[in-house]
Each structure stands twice: as structure tokens, then as C-alpha cells.
Amino acid sequence: MSNIHHLTPPPRTAYELELEVLSNEAVNGEYRLLVLNAPRGLLERCRAGQFFHLLCPQMGGQAPYLRRPMSIYGFYPEREELHFLYKVTGEGTRALAMLRRGHGLNVLGPLGKPFTIKPEWEQLVLAARGVGLATLAPLALEARRLGKELTAICSARSESVLMSVDLFRHMGANVITLVDEDGSSSVDNVEAVLNTLIDGPGIDAFYTCGSNRLLKLLQKVGTRHGIPGQIALEQQMACGLGMCHCCVRPFRKDGGIVNLRVCREGPVFDIQEAVAW
Amino acid sequence: MSNIHHLTPPPRTAYELELEVLSNEAVNGEYRLLVLNAPRGLLERCRAGQFFHLLCPQMGGQAPYLRRPMSIYGFYPEREELHFLYKVTGEGTRALAMLRRGHGLNVLGPLGKPFTIKPEWEQLVLAARGVGLATLAPLALEARRLGKELTAICSARSESVLMSVDLFRHMGANVITLVDEDGSSSVDNVEAVLNTLIDGPGIDAFYTCGSNRLLKLLQKVGTRHGIPGQIALEQQMACGLGMCHCCVRPFRKDGGIVNLRVCREGPVFDIQEAVAW
Amino acid sequence: MVRLDVDIGALRLKNPIMPASGTFSEDLADVFDLDLLGAHVTKTITRGFRDGNPTPRVCEVGGSMLNSIGIPSKGVGYFLENVVPFYQGYKTPLVVSISGNTADEFAQLCAEVSVPGVDAIEVNISCPNIEEDGKAFAIRPSSTFEVMTKLRRATSLPLWAKLTPNTGETSEVARAAEEAGADALVVANTILSMAIDIRTRKPKLGNLMGGLSGPSLKPIALRMAYQCARATKIPVIGCGGISTVEDAVEFLIAGASAVQVGTATFINPTAMVTMIDDLRHYLEAEGLSSVREIIGTVEDGEQREGIVFMEAAP
Amino acid sequence: MVRLDVDIGALRLKNPIMPASGTFSEDLADVFDLDLLGAHVTKTITRGFRDGNPTPRVCEVGGSMLNSIGIPSKGVGYFLENVVPFYQGYKTPLVVSISGNTADEFAQLCAEVSVPGVDAIEVNISCPNIEEDGKAFAIRPSSTFEVMTKLRRATSLPLWAKLTPNTGETSEVARAAEEAGADALVVANTILSMAIDIRTRKPKLGNLMGGLSGPSLKPIALRMAYQCARATKIPVIGCGGISTVEDAVEFLIAGASAVQVGTATFINPTAMVTMIDDLRHYLEAEGLSSVREIIGTVEDGEQREGIVFMEAAP
Ligand SMILES: Cc1cc2nc3c(=O)[nH]c(=O)nc-3n(C[C@H](O)[C@H](O)[C@H](O)COP(=O)(O)OP(=O)(O)OC[C@H]3O[C@@H](n4cnc5c(N)ncnc54)[C@H](O)[C@@H]3O)c2cc1C
Ligand SMILES: Cc1cc2nc3c(=O)[nH]c(=O)nc-3n(C[C@H](O)[C@H](O)[C@H](O)COP(=O)(O)OP(=O)(O)OC[C@H]3O[C@@H](n4cnc5c(N)ncnc54)[C@H](O)[C@@H]3O)c2cc1C
Ligand SMILES: Cc1cc2nc3c(=O)[nH]c(=O)nc-3n(C[C@H](O)[C@H](O)[C@H](O)COP(=O)(O)O)c2cc1C
Ligand SMILES: Cc1cc2nc3c(=O)[nH]c(=O)nc-3n(C[C@H](O)[C@H](O)[C@H](O)COP(=O)(O)O)c2cc1C
Ligand code: FES
Ligand code: FES
């Protein structure tokens, strides 16, 4: 048995907990908001961009097995509330949607690397589509806390699924909504919006997630104007902790391509290192 | 492809049906009565001694996989009711116990060979213990319908778990109750009761099920007095239809021991052919 | 109107759904018209009488089951006199499953069941045999080739070889069966397993060990069906954990030309009938006109060639 | 106070619960104190750098999972400089899992990881290797004996051989490993499986096939653990689908001296900690004073001798 103690074991940072459901309502046809009661200590450890790994219940004929990763949509230590905004897509999220007030839900987290906002960045811009907004929502909270200017470019299929707009407004963000219906969400139009911002107040950093189109656009605009940025990425996960290496994606690093774990090295990555897919 | 049609396929005799639960109440601490709403046509095919193969629900953390065999405890075509009396012992029956009025239950049946009552038999005696009484209950119904005299010797651990006594009385049976608590259920005492009956009205046939002690006693008494009898036996089942050969038990036949399927050649067998275990 | 018929070599089946050996018998006629099925496959018989294994012969394991029935058999005489005539009451092809303790006894039985009314012979080479240390013929390519060669000589009926998952050489065994003249491969039998009752510390099966069947077996059997379809040119009949039309379609896409349904029939005796209906609806919904259009359509891309030989999970 | 310690050859573990290779890493220290475990078992490493397989690398199959990670590895240098020192922060024995494409490369790595701080070497002989047509060493007794002989010569540390279920010769492979000098057997790795998305017709894993782990594997792994315990005299470490203390106890009764927990940790990261607590309570409730009292206590009666050699389900 090895008895040499020259390194100190790392501190605990993630918790497996059974939390109580406070509510779980449809926000609109596709999205639902899950509100859990969580201990203040847990919520105080949460950061924008991190996620929880949810053990979706086996109920109503649904038998999800692996956990499902979900970004933190909101964390409110004072109200002891942890929020997730999710889209019902398959077995796990269908099971999630069946949770009712008073049910328990086993969660693991907070996990992953959060977004960073450097002290010198003043003008922040986030751009996201659909459920991707869930991931960026707590960034607005953080921006307000730090007294940063935030512009949220929210794009969606139609006006009716534009979520989080109120939330972003409520956080004092400057909200620009773009929808497919009227063509305002086209890449060209987003680029035009960005250029207007760059020419106006300026942009110190971009934040985005999920969409390949937006990634490519922000990489291009970022390179052209020397604007740094971060992207939150998704990949199928098993452990969520960094142990199984199933959640890798390729990144540009040191002149080559390396595989990094979305759950551990991410889910937030440097926007220029991300490889479009 | 074989096109020779010299045999006619057999008629359908067993049905896979989703029935509605009417009630599912505890009869006492250990036993529960499950009442299902069933089509009259199905109930008219039922016979005393037959069983159904129940697809116990996957609920409340219970995940039974194979079906569970249950004797018909009562079948009432006029009321469209099918009754089962069961004891909660494991995963399947625990799941059964969770069924509530309005739930569905998938059943397969009626299955197996029923009891027979020969026209010349007038004095019938049934002897059983515990949940075994469930299997014999419909025999009392049948006996009454045929105008036979029936004596039911009901034995149990204690007075409080003596079930079916009212049912048997209600059917006009002559009921003798024996309990372990006061020692009245001892083999010697049962034998004394049987002898009294033989010396009195006489016994034309015995019916029993389940208990090894009773089997041996009735085989002995039957041999001594030339009284025929039948026994309903249990064995673990998969298909319940005769296909898988998992439910065999040994029987004395033609001077040797043969394996017979409890689900197909049984569950009712000649009492002298049964091998005590 | 979509077409459900498929060909297993020279034998045309009206649909690709049939029972798996040992999970079907005349008795199922109690529940539905057996002429709805694509084929009838009998329980494996041996030449002589066999009693089978001690009870308990089955047990549950986490949503699947183990069995160790031990192939009780009334012998070939009873079978020819009683079972074959029964199925002549139907228009559906009859497939007789046989096994033997030695290759010669096996071949003799194969000749004996090659009678009118029998449309194909499924040879259960997944059973322990005394010539190979109690191992199944289908564990090794060499013993597979030997026994299949003898069986091939014994009959002119279509010969289906039923393979075992208890091997590290599925592709090689499949090719050995093909080379020896098998007309089709049935993939697969159960995988050797065990369960212990921790309360009594007794094995849950009277025979200690038994075969795992049902949903847990599906990913293993699917992998084997895919390997066999890639490794040979003869039709593959998928078998293992199939309980819904989605499962059946998964095997067809992987390369199976038909499927056998076993344990699912114990859970829902009408499972096969439901599956035939659902298959029709599935094809209609996909806008296809024949089930043949989905067979072997898995998009395996570049991996296709390399992987067939790889037996170990990384 | 019940005793949970067990001996794996010369190595004493404070309890019989440890992680399975590839389902554990330094990262789990985020969730609980890793010194609670009986041993630390690292992810398999190779000598050189390996990228691993294309994504998706995992998928669900009916209450279990498939994986095809492909053993990404940063190579032995990184491992010795970073991983070994990390575990020196703990009092728990460190077991290093290694693999190689050829027996010689494998043996060389075995020598290289025989450093202070490493308490045992688990050799993952269940991986495809290029000398055997891409088959795992542990598929055949002969290749097992050969590679284990080389590995034995390469180190004086305790050597644990991790076996594969992708074989029809478990007992023979186990004996070959013992004869070549293995100190313990880890039973077992994942079984090769496949799943297809019927909507896209694509395999659900980027690598087409992968290994089945989780509850579905349990009855197969339990059978193998029993066979290995009967076929050899060296300790067996059970692995496969263990997620509750009941599962662990089932393996111990079957003859395992300790168990490894894999996929269950993905579902409940604290599963092993819960299992250790529950094991203590179980033993107390059974009135036992040491976990050793249940090891190998399966009541297998007469079947015991005959069955070890039987690989096929009847
Ligand atoms: C870090 C991270 C944060 C996320 N945050 C959110 C969020 O806030 N709101 C939201 O609606 N969704 C979010 N997702 C996606 C969410 O995890 C998937 O929608 C969900 O796992 C789908 O599960 P399912 O069983 O309903 O679908 P199925 O398609 O049945 O899932 C099958 C398997 O694929 C995996 N899977 C499917 N889609 C994804 C995906 N997009 N990303 C990762 N794994 C996937 C599932 O976890 C499961 O293992 C996030 C994903 C990641 C990686
Ligand atoms: C023909 C027949 C009629 C029966 N009638 C009744 C009845 O009317 N009322 C009643 O309470 N019980 C009856 N039983 C017993 C009943 O089937 C079992 O109690 C029940 O299957 C237990 O299931 P479980 O999951 O609760 O128990 P578990 O012990 O968890 O069951 C595990 C497995 O063993 C089987 N099993 C366990 N006990 C028995 C048993 N005694 N007989 C057959 N299989 C068993 C189960 O079906 C299951 O496959 C009858 C059995 C048979 C064969
Ligand atoms: C109770 C039972 C008995 C079986 N008997 C036989 C048999 O006699 N011959 C045979 O080839 N396979 C036999 N099998 C295996 C099945 O035919 C089939 O290969 C296996 O069960 C996998 O399919 P499933 O998961 O759909 O059940 C039997 C399976 C079960 C469950
Ligand atoms: C994601 C994943 C990665 C694995 N990687 C390895 C590995 O690198 N080396 C190894 O020997 N086994 C590996 N295994 C197999 C496990 O160690 C274990 O043998 C198997 O998963 C069965 O146990 P379980 O059912 O408890 O998971 C891996 C399993 C999984 C699920
Ligand atoms: S999910 Fe396991 S390493 Fe990321
Ligand atoms: S339960 Fe299948 S034959 Fe009796």
C-alpha cells in the first residue's frame, strides 16, 4: 500500500443530491421550466455556463438509463431555487416532463467550466438560438452583478418560441430578437447587427452556444475585429465528471487538433478553438 | 410449403386481454382480493381449478418480467367479474398490490385443466390451507351448481387469516375450521376429522392443493378407503401455455415417474399420481 | 399494399416473423391462428427420450430471463407421429429443430426428420456435445464445419444452422457453416449465465447455469446478426430479445432477412401477431412497398470491412 | 464491528469494493473522498498516445449501455508524471490497468509502470490485438498463456488478468492465466454488442460496435466469475453490472473475493460508497463478523464439478 502523502487530495466540488421539484411548467409548446428547491450552499457554488447531470425518473413507461446533462438556467441562493429550461426531445426529457411538485429528482453538480468575464471586458454580447438561450441566461445575471453592459441577440424559429427575452430584459440586458419567420435571423442579418454594435458601443467579448451557423459567424467576426469569445458546446455524456472520455470534441490547439472532454474541459470553450461541425 | 390439410387447427381457448380493475382490497394483513371487470364470454369459459397468467404491472419500483400464475378465485359471468385472491410474497405480487380501481391489467387465460366432479360423486370434501383456499373456492360454487354436498376443511395459521370461510358457508358448504394456534390443524386432527366424515355421510372424492402434509394424508386415507381425489399443484411458470417445459413436476404413471407440465397437464392432477415433495 | 414476404434461400415466407425454437409449440394455437406466422419452428428434439433438467428451470434477471430446460424430448418417433401431422393442418412452412450428442447421431436424426411436411431443418449446434468436452459445436469453426458437413450430407432439405453467442469467433463460425453447406444462419441462441438467490445462497436454476434470453440479449445478438450478414452470403435470421417491431426492424436493417421471437411470446403470447401488423404499418409510414427494401440497409460506411473480424470490445 | 478487509493474493484491501477500469479517474474526487474505496483502478493506458474512437462513443440500450471509447491514452510518460503522483495523495492501493497491441509492447509497458506507488497491475487482455487477427488475447487459452507469460516476466508486482466474456472457453482461459502466473482474475470486461438507430439507420456508436456494460451484463459476468473461481485457485474479482450491495454479495457468494463497479458509478457517482455502507449493514444483519465468511459459499451441490467445463446453454 502506498503510504507517501506528498499531494493533498482535491476538495469536493460536485454533489449528488435528491432535490425536490417546486414546479415544472410548459413555457411554451416545446420548452419547459423545471424549478427545484436546492440548498443555498450548493447554489452558491454554481457559475454561469456550468451544468447539472440529471437522473431522469423512470416513470410513465420511460426508462432512461444514463443521466442527462442540463445547463443551469438560473440559480438563486436567496430563494433556494435551481432552474432548468429544457426541450422535450427523447426518453429522458419526456420523463423529466412528468415530474410534478413534490417529486424528487437526483442531480449531480455543479459540473464543468463556467463562462469567464474578464475585468477589462465591459461590452458583452451573447448570441444564441432556441434552448441554447438556457445556457446563456445565467450569464446575464452574472453580467448585471458585475455591472457589465450586455446585449443579447436571441434568435428562434418563430416569435412564439422566443423565450428568455423577458428574463434578459429584466436583467437589464439590451435585447435584440431575430426570427426565422421574417428572415431577420439570417446569418447575414446577424452579421449586420454585430457590425452595428461593433461600430457603436463596441464589443469586448462574444458568448454563444449550440448553433454551428453562429459559431462560424462569430469566429469570422471575432478574427476580423480581434474580439475574443466563448462557446458552450454539447456532446453526449455518460459520467459527466471526466472519467469516461465519451464526450470529447475536437479543438484547435497548439497548431493541431486535440480531443477535449465537454464535461470537464468544457462545456465552455474558447470560440476560436472550437471546430465547426 | 406443406399444403396437406388433413387436420383441423384447434379452436382458441385462451385469451390475452387487458381488463379493468374494479377493486383490489386487503382481505387481511397477508391476502388481497383483486376484482376485475371481464367480458361475459370469457367468464363463461372459466372452470374451477383453472388459472390466469397475469402480467403484473411495472410500477412503484417493482419490475416483474415474467407473468405470474393465479388461480381463479371467483368467476361471475352475470356480474362480469373475475376474482383473484393473492398473497403478497415478492416482486410480482407487490406490483399487483399497487393496482387501483380503473387501472388495466393484462391477463392470459383461462389456462390449465380444471377440477372434475363425476356425476356419481355426491359427498365432496375439500381440504386446504392459506392461499390454497383461493384455488378451491370456485369448486364450492361448482358443487352448489351441481347440487353436491361439500365439506370444506379450512386450515390456517391463525383465526385471523382464515379466509373464504364466509364464502364457503355462503355456497352452502359445511365448513370446518382448523388453526395452528390451538393445534386443531395438526395432521392427526385432520385425519380424525376425515374419519368422522367417512364414518358419517361418507366421502366420494377429495380435493386439495398446495400443502405437502395434506397431500400425504389424503393419499393415505384415500388409499385406505378407496376414495379418489384431485390436487392442484404449483410450479414456477414462464409461458403458462405448455410451450416452455419449465413448470414440470414428477408424477407416478404406468409404474414409473414422468414429468408433467403443471400449466398444461395440470394444475389439477390425480391425487395418487402426485409425488410428495 | 405492402409486401411482407421474404426468401430464406429457396423457401419463401409470407412474412419475416417466426417463433424461436423452444418458445413455441402446438399449444400456442389456443391463443391465435398459427397460420398468421411466417414459419413454425419446433422445440429442439433429440433422437431418443430425454427428461430435461431439474427444476427450477427458469428465473428472472432484471427484465430478462434465464432458462435451463435441458431439451426434454419424447424422441423422434413421437415427433413424426404426432407433431409433424399437427402442423400439416396449417399452410405455414414447418421448420424442425434438432440436436444430437454426437455429430453422427445428429446427422442420423437429420435424415430421419427429412419427411414430407417438413420444410426446413434448423440444427441447434449451440448445445453441449460430448465429443467436444461438453462444448457446443458452434463455439469453434472447426467443429462447426465438421458437424455441418455431416448434416448437409444427411438431408436435401434447407438446413439452418443456429449459432451460439458463447464464442469469440462468430464470423469464422458463420463462414464455416456456410462453407459446409448451410442454407441460412439463425443468430443466436442464449448466452450462458447464472443467478444466485443471496438469501438461500442457491443458484436460481436447478442446473446452476442457463441461457440468458430477452431484452438483455438483444445488443449481443444484433451484433452477431450483423457480423454473420457481413461474413457470409447466406440469409441470416435474427433472434435475441426481439419484442417490438422496432427490435425486428433493427435486425432487418442490420442484415437479417427474417427474425425469430422467443421470450417476448412468454410475456405477450400475441407478440408475434402484433409485430406482423406493426411491421405493415411501419413500412407504410416509411413509404416502402416491401420489407425487402430495409434488409441490410445499415449505414455502416467505412467501418464495414474492418470490423467484421473484430471480436473484442475496446 | 464487522470486518470488510479481503486479500487479493498478497495485497490486503480494506474493503472489497473498487472501481472498474475506464469508469473511474482522479475526477471522482470531486464527489467523495477516494480513500473510502478498497482500491483505485486506473483507466487502461497504452505506451504511446492514442486518440480513441469516433463519437458517439456511448449509447443506451434498454437499461444498460454500450461504449466504444477506444482507449484514448496520453501515453506512459504522462501517466507516470501526473497520474501516479496524484494517487499518492491517498492511502488506498493503486492498481494500474494497461494494454498493448502486441505481447512485447504490452510487456514493456508492464515493466515501465512497475514503479513505487503502484501496488498491482491489471492487464487488460480483453482488447483487440494485432497479432491475433484483431482478437483479444483472452479469447483463447493459448494466446492468454503466451501474453501472460511475457507480462509475468516483466514485473514482480501482483498481476491481475482482466478477462473477456467474448469467448467460449472461460474456464480454460482462466487456467491459462493462472498457469502463466496471474495473481488474480478480473471477471469480466464488456461483451461485444451493437445498436442501430432505426430512424437514421446508422449504428448508434461511431465505431459500429462496442461493449455492453451495466445490469444486462450481470448474469453473464456472474457465471464467468463462478467458473473462474471453480477453475482456478487464485482470487477472482467480480465485475459486470454490479450496482447494489445485493449484486456485490451475489458475486462474493459465487466465489469472488472482491468486486469492481463500473457503469453504476455513471448513474450514481456515490454508488461504491453506498455499497460499502450497505455491505457493512448486510453483514451485521446476517450476524456475520467478516465479509470473508460469505466468499464462495454458493450451494452448488453435485453440479459443481461437471458444470465448470460446460460453456453452452442447453
Ligand atoms: C452541457 C450540456 C448542457 C445542456 N443544456 C441543455 C439545456 O439547458 N436545455 C436543454 O433542453 N437541453 C440541454 N442539453 C441537451 C440535453 O442534454 C439533451 O437534450 C438531452 O440529453 C436529451 O435527452 P433525451 O433522452 O430526451 O433524448 P434522446 O435523444 O432520447 O437521448 C439519447 C441520448 O443522447 C443524449 N443526447 C441527446 N441529445 C443530446 C444533446 N443535445 N447533448 C448531449 N447529449 C444528448 C442523451 O443524453 C441520451 O444519452 C445540454 C447538453 C449538454 C451537453
Ligand atoms: C397454477 C397456480 C395457481 C396459483 N394461484 C395462486 C393464488 O390463487 N393466489 C396466490 O397468492 N398465489 C397463487 N399461486 C402462486 C403465485 O403464482 C406466486 O405466489 C407468485 O407467482 C409469486 O410471485 P412474486 O413475484 O410475488 O414472488 P417471487 O418469489 O418474487 O417470484 C419469483 C418467481 O417465482 C415464481 N413463483 C414464486 N412462487 C411461486 C409459486 N408458489 N408458484 C409458482 N410460481 C411461483 C414467480 O411467478 C416468479 O416467476 C399460484 C401458482 C400456480 C402455479
Ligand atoms: C425456455 C426456452 C427454451 C428454449 N429452447 C430452445 C431449444 O430447444 N432450441 C433452441 O435452439 N433454442 C432454444 N431456446 C433459445 C431461443 O430459441 C432463442 O434463441 C433465445 O431465447 C433468444 O431469443 P429471445 O431473446 O427472443 O428469447 C430456448 C429459449 C427459452 C427461453
Ligand atoms: C465507458 C467505459 C470505459 C471502459 N474502459 C475500460 C478500460 O479502459 N479498460 C478496461 O479494462 N475496461 C474498461 N471498461 C470495462 C469496465 O471496466 C467493466 O469491465 C465493464 O464496464 C463491466 O462492468 P460494469 O457493468 O459494472 O460497468 C470500460 C467500461 C465502460 C462503460
Ligand atoms: S461524460 Fe464522461 S468524460 Fe465527459
Ligand atoms: S409454463 Fe411453459 S410449459 Fe408450463
**CATH number of the domain encompassing residue C199:** 3.20.20.70
Lowest mean pLDDT among B155-169, C76-90, C186-200: B155-169
CB D47 within 8 A of CB D75: yes
Residues of C in contact with B247 (CB under 8 A): 57
CA distances to A125, A193, A194, A196, A226 from A202, in Å: 10, 12, 9, 9, 12
What pLDDT shows up at residue A167? 80
Distance separating alpha carbons of residues A192 and A228, to the nearest angstrom:
18
Search chain C and give the residue with CA nearest D222. C194
DSSP structure string for B233-252: -----SSSSSSS--SEEEEE
Residues of D in contact with C203 (CB under 8 A): 298-300, 303
Residue C190, annotated ligand binder?
A: yes
Q: Report if residue D220 sits inside a domain.
A: yes
Structural domain span for residue D49: 6-312
Q: Does any ligand 2 atom lie closer than 6 A to the CB of residue B65?
A: no
E strands, chain A, where?
15-26, 31-37, 51-55, 68-71, 74-76, 81-87, 104-111, 123-129, 149-156, 174-179, 205-209, 229-232, 248-253, 256-261, 268-270
Which residue(s) pair with C259 in the sheet? C17, C238
B214-232 average pLDDT score:
94
Q: Report if residue D82 sits inside a domain.
A: yes
Residues of C in contact with B9 (CB under 8 A): 29, 33-35, 89-90
What pLDDT shows up at residue B172? 84
Number of domains in chain D: 1
pLDDT digit string, tens, across residues C52-65? 999 999 999 999 99
What pLDDT shows up at residue B258? 94
Distance separating alpha carbons of residues B103 and D232, to the nearest angstrom:
53
Place of cell 494485432: D130
Q: Is D269 on the interface with A (CB under 8 A)?
A: yes
CB D266 within 8 A of CB A244: yes
What pLDDT shows up at residue A135? 83
CB C66 within 8 A of CB C194: yes
Lowest mean pLDDT among C28-37, C125-134, D47-56: C125-134
Q: Report if residue D113 sits inside a domain.
A: yes
Search chain B and give the residue with CA nearest C11. B1
pLDDT digit string, tens, across residues A242-272? 999 999 999 999 889 999 999 999 999 999 9
D84-105 average pLDDT score:
95
What pLDDT shows up at residue D305? 53
Question: Would the pLDDT of B134 be above 90?
Answer: no
pLDDT digit string, tens, across residues B56-110? 998 878 889 999 999 999 999 999 999 999 999 999 999 999 999 999 999 999 9
Q: How many Cβ atoms from other residues are within 10 Å of residue B189's Cβ?
A: 14
> Which atom of ligand 4 approaches the CA of D44 most closely?
8
Distance separating alpha carbons of residues B209 and B275, to the nearest angstrom:
13
CB A138 within 8 A of CB A74: yes
What pLDDT shows up at residue B180? 85
> Which one is predicted more confidently, D109 or C305?
D109
Search chain A and give the residue with CA nearest D44. A244
**Cβ–Cβ of D56/A248 closer than 8 Å?**
no
Residues of C in contact with D136 (CB under 8 A): 168, 311-312
Interface of D with A in 24-63 (CB under 8 A): 24-35, 43, 51-52, 55-60, 62-63
Q: How many Cβ atoms from other residues are within 10 Å of residue D303's Cβ?
A: 18
Closest CA to B242 of C296, C59, C269, D202: C269
Question: Would the pLDDT of A113 be above 80?
Answer: yes
Task: Give the closest residue (by CA) to ligand 1 atom 50.
Answer: A70
**Cβ–Cβ of B243/C24 closer than 8 Å?**
yes
Task: Give the closest residue (by CA) to ligand 6 atom 3.
Answer: B242
CA distances to A127, B68, C176, C191, D194 from C227, in Å: 46, 37, 13, 17, 10
Band (A179; pLDDT cuts 50, 70, 90) = confident
pLDDT digit string, tens, across residues D207-240? 999 999 999 999 999 999 999 999 999 999 999 9
Nearest CB neighbour to C194, from listed D219, D297, D312: D219
pLDDT digit string, tens, across residues C132-160? 667 899 999 999 999 999 999 999 999 99
Q: Does any ligand 6 atom lie closer than 6 A to the CB of residue B238?
A: yes
Residue C77, annotated ligand binder?
A: no
> Which one is predicted more confidently, A183 or D213?
D213
**Cβ–Cβ of C267/B2 closer than 8 Å?**
no
What one-letter code names the amino acid at A181?
E
CA of C105 to the centre of ligand 3 (A): 22
Grid coordinates standing for B252?
407416478
Q: Report if residue D67 sits inside a domain.
A: yes
Element spanning C122, H or E: strand C120-124
Q: Does any ligand 6 atom lie closer than 6 A to the CB of residue B246?
A: yes
Band (B5; pLDDT cuts 50, 70, 90) = very low
D28-57 average pLDDT score:
95
CB A31 within 8 A of CB A85: yes
pLDDT digit string, tens, across residues A65-98? 999 999 999 999 999 999 999 999 999 999 999 9
Nearest CB neighbour to C55, from listed B63, B91, B235: B235
Is there a catalytic annotation at residue D239? no
Q: Are strands B248-253 and B256-261 parallel, antiparallel or unpaired?
A: antiparallel
Question: Would the pLDDT of B3 be above 50?
Answer: no
Which phi and psi angles does C228 have, rounded to 5°? -65, -40
Question: Would the pLDDT of A57 be above 80?
Answer: yes
A12-24 average pLDDT score:
96
Q: How many Cβ atoms from other residues are within 10 Å of residue A215's Cβ?
A: 21
Q: Are strands A104-111 and A15-26 parallel, antiparallel or unpaired?
A: antiparallel
Question: Would the pLDDT of C257 be above 90?
Answer: yes
Distance separating alpha carbons of residues C312 and D212, to the nearest angstrom:
11
CB B128 within 8 A of CB B150: no
E strands, D125-261, where?
159-162, 184-187, 191-194, 196-197, 202-203, 209-213, 236-239, 258-261
Element spanning D219, H or E: helix D218-231
Give the residue from D32, D41, D53, D58 with the most A CB atoms within 10 Å of its CB, the best one to mutate. D58
What pLDDT shows up at residue B81? 97
pLDDT digit string, tens, across residues A141-165? 889 889 999 999 988 887 766 777 8
Q: Report if residue C84 sits inside a domain.
A: yes
CB C220 within 8 A of CB D213: no
Dihedral, B241, B247, B250, B251 alpha carbons, nearest 10: -30
Would you name the residues of C annotated as active-site residues?
127
**Cβ–Cβ of B248/C57 closer than 8 Å?**
yes
What pLDDT shows up at residue C128? 72
What pLDDT shows up at residue C284? 97
What pLDDT shows up at residue C205? 95
Q: Are strands A256-261 and A248-253 parallel, antiparallel or unpaired?
A: antiparallel
**Cβ–Cβ of B244/C63 closer than 8 Å?**
no
| Helix, strand or coil, per DSSP, at residue B75 | strand
Q: Report if residue D285 sits inside a domain.
A: yes
Q: Report if residue D212 sits inside a domain.
A: yes
Band (D135; pLDDT cuts 50, 70, 90) = confident
Quote ipTM for the complex: 0.95
Question: Would the pLDDT of C112 be above 90?
Answer: yes
Q: Please tell me the number of the ligand nearest to residue B237's CA.
A: 6
What one-letter code names the amino acid at B199?
D
Note the helical H segments in chain A: 40-44, 91-96, 132-145, 165-170, 187-199, 212-225
What pLDDT shows up at residue A266? 94
Residues of D in contact with C308 (CB under 8 A): none
What pLDDT shows up at residue B7? 60
Q: Does any ligand 5 atom lie closer than 6 A to the CB of residue A108?
A: no
What pLDDT shows up at residue B2? 42
Residues 6+ apart with CB under 8 A from D277: none
C-alpha C239, offset from chain centre = 6
Question: Would the pLDDT of D78 be above 70?
Answer: yes
Question: Would the pLDDT of C30 be above 70?
Answer: yes
Chain A: which residues have CB within 8 Å of chain D? 1-10, 12-16, 55, 63-67, 91, 106, 108, 235-236, 238-249, 259, 264
What pLDDT shows up at residue A7? 60
What pLDDT shows up at residue D146? 96
- In chain D, % of residues over pLDDT 90: 91
What one-letter code names the amino acid at A205?
A
Question: Would the pLDDT of C312 be above 60?
Answer: no
CA D162, D167, D168: angle at the middle one, nearest 5? 130
Lowest mean pLDDT among C246-255, C299-308, D87-96, D119-128: C299-308
Tell me the average pLDDT of chain B: 90
Give the residue from A89, A239, A265 with the most D CB atoms within 10 Å of its CB, the best one to mutate. A239
What pLDDT shows up at residue C308? 39
Question: Would the pLDDT of B141 be above 90?
Answer: no
Q: Report if residue C1 sits inside a domain.
A: no
**Cβ–Cβ of B243/C25 closer than 8 Å?**
yes
Band (B27; pLDDT cuts 50, 70, 90) = confident
Q: Is C9 on the interface with B (CB under 8 A)?
A: no
Tell me the average pLDDT of chain A: 90
pLDDT digit string, tens, across residues D296-309? 999 998 665 554 34
Q: Does any ligand 4 atom lie closer than 6 A to the CB of residue D141?
A: no
pLDDT digit string, tens, across residues D49-65? 999 999 999 999 999 99
